[in-house]
């Protein structure tokens, strides 16, 4: 017969390393096969349309914006817009843009972009490159969106460091190369935030940011059953004004829900003091809900510890009562 005291002791000792299963959103890259096929067309407004087997992509010519429609209904689609660049004073040292900290903001949707699209065949792969350029007396901005028919390996060089990653094919990932080559800084103590806005027709389930590798991080969301990952390299390439050598600029990322169907992601860059900055976030299909073992000692200890204490109190009470307890159940 199982000894209750031994069971209680076992529960108390074994509770601490015990994990429990938690449901979370993680990224599982599809890495589409070499047999993937996409069709590319351009409409009368110069918007680029890309059709794959499981999804369709529309890239707008008037502003850096991407619209995904995934097979399975309109609820699985979403729109991703590079919406603004905002210079701000990080007055509380929190590292992200807050109300009352804005020094100046540039709405990217209001700009008159020069837009060029290229569809290039290289071997058995199709490279789709969409370039947006805006220049005036105070700003010089370049945004390049890249999509591929089959996966490619890309290298992002920061100073003397090479960061290698894979960009998915089948137009399932849009890699953004963003260059700010001129910005009218207010002071040398401000920072710059690039805001990416996601809008969906269904409620968004959003995960916490997580490391995907030593050099890359991401945040996942799910809309209408389709998982999506926003990814970024943890460092930006900065070239100070008048300097030959480049240096590394740490990138911090903050995300928040504007409402239950809208997600805002801010990529925050250091002040590059009249120089230039290059960074390359991306948006990719392929995040999935999974159950993973996650350590949560407090939750497990609370339940198992209460059970163990209950068993010990019961055995102590039973032993003190002795024969009267046992005789009550005797024939």
Which candidate, 225, 144, 128, places its Cα nearest to that of 180? 144
- Fold classified for 82-289: Beta-galactosidase; Chain A, domain 5 (2.70.98)
Q: How many residues does the chain have?
A: 331
pLDDT at res. 22: 40
Instruction: For residue 95, give the nearest of 207, 209, 230, 184 by alpha carbon.
Output: 209
How confident is the model at residue 3, as a pLDDT?
Answer: 56
Average pLDDT for consecutive 10-residue bins of the chain (331 residues)?
A: 49 42 45 66 96 95 96 79 96 86 96 96 93 97 97 89 92 96 94 96 89 92 89 92 80 90 94 92 76 42 46 45 34 32
The DSSP secondary-structure symbol of 76 reads G
Q: What pLDDT is recorded for position 161? A: 87
Q: Running DSSP on this structure, what letter comes out for residue 111? A: S
Supply the pLDDT for residue 306.
47
CA distance 204 to 206: 6
Q: Where in the chain is the domain with CATH 2.70.98?
A: 82-289
pLDDT for 225 equals: 83
pLDDT attached to residue 92: 84
Closest of 45, 77, 59, 29 to residue 218, by C-alpha = 29
Helix (H) / strand (E) element for 48: namely strand 48-51
């Amino acid at each position: 017969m199982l000894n209750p005291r031994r069971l209680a002791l076992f529960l108390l000792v074994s509770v601490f390393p015990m994990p429990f299963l938690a449901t979370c959103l993680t990224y599982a890259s599809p890495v589409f096969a070499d047999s993937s096929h996409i069709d590319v067309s351009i409409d009368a407004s110069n918007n680029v349309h890309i059709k794959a087997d499981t999804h369709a992509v529309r890239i707008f010519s008037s502003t850096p914006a991407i619209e995904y429609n995934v097979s399975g209904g309109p609820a699985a689609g979403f729109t991703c817009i590079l919406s603004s660049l905002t210079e701000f004073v990080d007055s509380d040292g929190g590292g992200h843009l807050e109300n009352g900290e804005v020094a100046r903001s540039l709405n990217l949707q209001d700009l008159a972009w020069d837009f060029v699209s290229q569809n290039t065949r290289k071997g058995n792969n199709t490279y789709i490159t969409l370039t947006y350029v805006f220049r005036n007396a105070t700003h010089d901005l370049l945004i390049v969106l890249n999509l591929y028919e089959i996966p490619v390996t890309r290298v992002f060089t920061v100073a003397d460091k090479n960061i290698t990653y894979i960009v998915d094919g089948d137009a399932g990932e849009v890699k953004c190369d963003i260059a700010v080559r001129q910005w009218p800084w207010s002071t040398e103590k401000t920072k710059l935030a690039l805001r990416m806005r996601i809008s969906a027709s269904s409620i968004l389930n959003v995960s916490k940011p997580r490391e995907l590798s030593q050099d890359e991080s991401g945040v996942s969301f799910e809309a209408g059953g389709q998982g999506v990952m926003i990814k970024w390299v943890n460092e930006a390439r900065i070239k100070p004004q008048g300097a030959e050598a480049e240096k590394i600029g740490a990138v911090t990322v903050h995300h928040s829900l504007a409402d239950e169907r809208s997600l805002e992601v801010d990529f925050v860059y250091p002040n590059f003091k009249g120089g230039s900055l290059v960074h390359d976030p991306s948006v990719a299909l392929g995040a999935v809900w999974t159950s993973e073992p996650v350590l949560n000692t407090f939750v497990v200890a609370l339940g198992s510890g209460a059970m163990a204490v209950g068993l010990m109190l019961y055995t102590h009470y039973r032993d003190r009562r002795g024969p009267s307890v046992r005789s009550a159940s005797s024939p």
